[in-house]
Every structure is written in structure tokens, then in C-alpha cells.
Amino acid sequence: MNDIKKKFPIGELPQSASSSSPKVDELAEKKKNQKKSLIKMGAMGILTLILLIFSSLSWFTMNKEVSTSNMAVSTAALPFELSAINNETDFDHYLEAESAHTDVDQTSAEVDTIKWFMNDLTATDENKGLHPGSHGTFSFNLYPKQSENMTVKFSIETSAYQYDTDEYGERIKDADNYDTIVQIAANQPAAKYVSGHIIFFESYDSTTGYYSKRIGNYFLYDTSAHSADAQTDESGKTYYPITIHWIWANTFGQYVLDKGDVDLRDAALFSTSQATYTPVGSNTAITPRNEMIQYIKTDSGSYFFDSLNTSSASLDTMLSSPANIKSYIIPLSNGYNNADQVIGENVDLIMCELLATTNLE
């Protein structure tokens, strides 16, 4: 596959959280003082391409630019190939298969899992890194193996990891030894918060800074609807470049408040002026912000620390109108920030997996 290169930053230092509460200020200071840094990348499963694993979660000191190296996922059973787009970086990278094989960059009948680890051992930059407030993109290419149009179903999964503990109960922070990582169970608070706080979108308007078309369980890519995007590589193969946008909001207000609101501490992710659209799997048009609020109501345990002390009914009340949101913005923000703190205290790595299939059921 041809060598396609792109360079992109992972994040930037967020502004401090709302100053309307001492607890919020305290949490912001804790976030600012915690320092870890590591990026992990890989691909898992015959039908899975891992585009990015970003980590060292506890409000981060490294300027991370992820590098891929022509990583591809391809099997005879699938009518397409996926290839992560390369970008340049100074980071060391390690390819390691979860089998007897190592240094593998493509799945096969013998190797069904690929891991891509990256780490940076250079001097830190305390103004950069992955943290609440970070945002970026996953870019990859879809190579159809057939001339007919196809629809591919993509889904994204996140997993949280800790370093294993030594005989003294301290986590082994060894950036060169990934045998020391232990996956945090998906039902544990830290893992749940990761799944709610790092969110993905199909669309981002770089002019307004607003996101839309949140990726929930999955999204569909129809090549016939993207014929204008089709490109040809040096070998003559047709491919479709696809970009997924991700963000880790620094404050809860970014979800629910408008630009110019006095309670807004960071850039709003949505606006009441955005057009409605019909999410995949739904028959009802909705605005991006109201869709986000629906996600929060449906799975509040992925967004708020338990200390929010609210039932689903009372949370519905808090989020029922712009006026109520403003009235309850402090407890909502505290619950969100406390959940971020749990991530920072318990999670050492985060893995994001992109799974693809033509089975639309």
C-alpha cells in the first residue's frame, strides 16, 4: 500500500474548570499537577482496526502526535481492506502480535491480533498532552475489493487499563513493558467514565468549532454516497479516506451551554443554531445538543461520579430545559469533574478500537 502521510496533534492544555465552586477549582488543580505520558496503538481482531490508543491518563505532559506505519487489516472473507493513514513523529513504536508471531502489521490466518504500542521518552512539555480538553481525529482509508458499491458498518469501543502492581501494591509504570498492563473491567466506574467522557463524531465544522453526528453504537459508510471522495493510490487501487473526530470535553458546560453564556468555561461543542439530522437507527430528527443530552440521560453513570446523588428522574429535571440546565450547572459540573478525577487516579492507558463489517444486522 502506498505511503500516505498526515500529521495531527492529539490535544492541548484545557482551560481550568468552572471557578464557581471550590471543589471544581480543587479538581482542576489536581488535573493540572498530575503527570503521566504514554501512547499505545494497535489493531485487534480479524475484523478490527485499532486506529489509536491514547493514554497516560492523569493530565498529561506530552505533546502527542500519533504515528502509524502502513498498518492494515485484511482477510479473504472481507470485501475490503482498512489502512491507518501514516503521520510523522519522533516517537518509538513497537508492533507485537498476541501470538507466537511478532512485528506483524497485518492480520492473517495465523495471526488474528495486532498490537501497536508507541511511547515517548523525551523531555516533557507541560502545556501539551492528552487530558480533559484534548481533541483530535482518527484518519484511515477504506479499500474496497470489489467494483460494486458497499455499505460498511463501523463501531468504536474503548477499553481502560492499569499497570499491574508490584509487591508493595504500587502500579508498575514501565512504558517499555506492556506485559504489566491489566484491563479494567467495563463495569468498573473508571472504565465507564472513559466510555462516556471520550466521545466520537462523524462531523466537525472547523469554522464554528461545533460537532455533529455523534457515533453511538455504530455508524454506516456507504461508498455510493461518497463517490466524490474516492481517490486512487499509486498502484491504481481505489480508496475512500475516512475521518472520525474525537474529543474529551474539559467541562460539562461544553455539552449543554451556548457560546457567550456566562457559565461557559470552555468552547461549546454544540449550538442551538445547528441543523437537525436523523441519527442512524432512529426515525426522528434531532439537534446535536439534544442528542448528546439524550445520551447523558440514558447512561448517566458514564458521565457523572456517584456523588451527584441524583436519580434518573431528577437528572431528567436538571436537563429538561436550558433554564434548568443553568440552574443545576454547578452540581452537574462537579459530578462530571469528579468522574474525570476517577479516570486520572485509576487509568494508565486507554485503547480505542474501530471494528468494521459489511454485516448490517
Look-up: residue for cell 469528579? 338
Please work out, in degrees rounded to the nearest 5, the angle formed at the alpha carbon of residue 192 by the alpha carbons of 72 and 214: 60
End-to-end, the C-alpha distance of the chain in Å comes to 31
What's the sign of the alpha-carbon dihedral 6, 12, 18, 21? Answer: positive
Say how far residue 335 (Cα) sits from the centre of its chain. Answer: 20
Give the pTM: 0.73
pLDDT digits (tens, 9 = 90+) for 30-56: 444 433 322 222 222 233 344 444 443
pLDDT digits (tens, 9 = 90+) for 8-17: 232 222 232 3
- Cα–Cα dist 328/242, whole Å: 38
Please spell the DSSP secondary structure of 79-98, one letter per residue: SEEEEEPB---S-EEEEEES
Are 203 and 249 contacting, i.e. CB atoms less than 8 angstroms apart? no
Given a cut of 50, the residues of the chain with pLDDT beneath it are: 1-24, 27-28, 30-70, 75, 86-129
Please report, as a single letter, which amino acid is at residue 292. Answer: M
Instruction: Report helix angle 329-346 to 189-197, nearest 10.
Output: 120
Please report, as a single letter, which amino acid is at residue 297. Answer: K
- Cα–Cα dist 85/241, whole Å: 9
Q: Sketch the domain layout of the chain as residue ranges.
A: 22-357
